[in-house]
Amino acid sequence: MITRELFCYTDSEADLSAIDGLSSTDVTAATREIQTLQYQNAARTVFLADRLAAAVLDELSFADRLGHPHIDQLADKAIVGEVSVRLGISRTQARSWLFLASALRVFPALLDAFMAGRFAIRRTQIIVEELSVLPDRTDDEQQIRDHAERLAIAMADGPVHDSVLRERLAEMVIALAPEFAAAGRRDHARDRQHVTVRKDANGHAQLNANVPAEVGVHLRQRISALIEERLCADDPRPAGVRQVDALREIQGMPGYRLACKCGREGCAGRIPEPMPEWMNDLHDDDLPDEPRAESEPAESESAGPEPVPSETAVGEQTALTVITDPTGRHAPRLQGFGAIDPAHAVDLIGSGAATAIGGPTFAYPSGSSDSLDEYLWALGEDLATWQRAALVADHGLAPPVDSTGHGGESLPPPGALRYRPSRRMIEKIVALDRICRYPGCGKPAADCEIDHVVKFRNADPENGGWTVEFNLAALCTPDHHRKHMGLWIPTMRADRTITWRSPHTGETVVTYPG
């Protein structure tokens, strides 16, 4: 191991000198070795905390309070508090470590991966939280749980953002056991829903809440809509301040109304200064005529009255959108959130809180049907991300579409030789990819650019990458720039996975749509 050969772990100057002397190849390997050791130590810390909890339980004596109706809760609080004090961590962290140690006992493969240093504590917690709703009372249920555990590890091994991993795991669990996913949602509401307001520094407070998905989506949409309606691009406030100021009005703070602070007289979102009280006694005839600029049209020539800020019914519930799959293969999706269980979707649509629309279907590239038949997929099969991960884990990667960037097409279809995709094509790529396709990114595809996987040639469109579905992918602006810098070279595959290869190290990673 590089770290054993180069680092002494006792002399900081010697270790820094060793780091400075590493080559670009060795520094990557050394960093990964150190990270693995860090994860291994963190895993053992979790189980040492669990062992400490058992020791604390042995030390406690509740013999004189055995008749107490809440003896279990008292013991739990005492144990968590004592672990917190002895390890110098928060009680929240102590409780989460003890839960993780207990939960991992029923996930042996994940436990092995955690102890081997493959995953950080937070990543492991996400997997456990999502898989814990799966039952294991019968042999069939245990097989499903084992299958889900194996796929979860395969997905977590990839370059995927934690939030995206949680979404994919939730979609898998809903597909495998929808009724238990619904029960898990109800249990979560009972045990973990809350709204807390805590004091913070400098005259501020921290607002923390755990709310149903639709409540969070609705609030985020209302804040965004109010900002878009009232504030122009020249408003000087930072984005966070705009959001908080919008929340002031949404929550009904007395005397507050969100208004633009750009200072421009003609801004539609600007609230005019109130007239002085003495002007209320004047009649129109008493007021002097205001001078008019030469370029300003007379009243009869005016195109219309000066725009005024529109009033927003901030408490009004705007309809959310649930995307349903007519084939029934995919979990419903609450737009702006992600996968939800079918019972949740029925409740939202039935109550009028959401409207339902059908999602797009996936079509494989027309030029690759033979390869796909060999690859055990039926042409036109619509696969969820976790299903693609299962096929990759079992059979390897799907074949590349083609190296020319023509998306498997022999002749350019309409629009293929134009640089800019049509609006319909953009909407389809956004719906299919759902996130930025660069390794490790989780930005929503709706906020990304649509990039040609194989570069489009403006001077020679026929011989460059075409503007077709299987040569287009969502990339956020920074990752779009990274892709053009050649740090990782993408290859689109027949199941819409993308293999990224580092030209410097030869390493490859795979990203999935959704």
Q: How confident is the model over 186-215, as pLDDT tens digits?
A: 999 999 999 999 999 999 999 999 999 999
Element at 286 (helix H, strand E): none
In a domain, 276, yes or no: no
> Which tokens is 494 given?
């027949």
- What pLDDT is attached to residue 143? 93
Let me know whether 348 and 377 are in one domain: no
Asked if residue 363 is part of any domain, the answer here is no
Query: Alpha carbon of 144 to those of 139, 141, 172, 324, 471: distances in Å?
Result: 9, 5, 11, 24, 36
Q: Is 277 within a domain?
A: no
15 and 161 part of one domain? yes
Has residue 66 been placed in a domain? yes
Which pLDDT value is given to residue 67?
A: 52
Q: Which residues contact 430 (CB under 8 A, 6 or more apart)?
A: 445, 446, 448, 450, 474
Is residue 37 located within the same domain as residue 74? yes
Same structural domain, 174 and 63: yes
**Are residues 263 and 391 located together in one domain of the fold?**
no
In a domain, 308, yes or no: no
Same domain, 82 and 131: yes
- What integer pLDDT is reported at residue 305 of this predicted model? 44
Which residue ranges in the chain fall short of pLDDT 70?
1, 4, 61-73, 269-318, 359-382
pLDDT tens readout for residues 272-328: 555 455 444 544 444 444 443 344 333 433 344 444 444 445 545 467 999 888 777
Same domain for 173 and 224: no
Residues 97 and 140 in one domain: yes
Same domain? 404 vs 354:
no
- Residue 335 CA: distances (Å) to CA of 115, 316, 358: 37, 19, 12
233 within domain boundaries: yes
User: Of the residues 330, 358, 386, which one is the last residue of a structural domain?
Assistant: 358
Strands 320-324 and 354-358, sheet pairing? parallel
Contact between residue 320 and residue 334 where contact means Cβ atoms under 8 Å apart: yes
Verify that 441 and 387 share a domain, yes or no. yes
Asked, for residue 280, whether it belongs to a domain, the answer is no
Structural domain range at position 104: 2-180
Domain check: are 169 and 218 in the same one?
no
How many domains, in total, are found in the chain? 4
Please indicate, yes or no, whether residues 436 and 386 belong to a single structural domain of this protein.
Answer: yes
- Lookup result for tokens 């008292």: 74
Q: Please, what is the Cα angle at 270 between 269 and 271, to 5 degrees?
A: 115
At 209, give phi and psi (nearest 5°): -145, 150
| DSSP-based three-state secondary structure for 90 | coil
In a domain, 306, yes or no: no
Report the distance separating Cα 16 and Cα 316, nearest Å. Answer: 59
Give the sign of the dihedral formed by CA 305, CA 306, CA 310, CA 311.
Answer: negative
Residue 305's region, left for phi above 0, alpha for psi from -120 to 50, else beta, is beta
What's the DSSP call for residue 307?
P
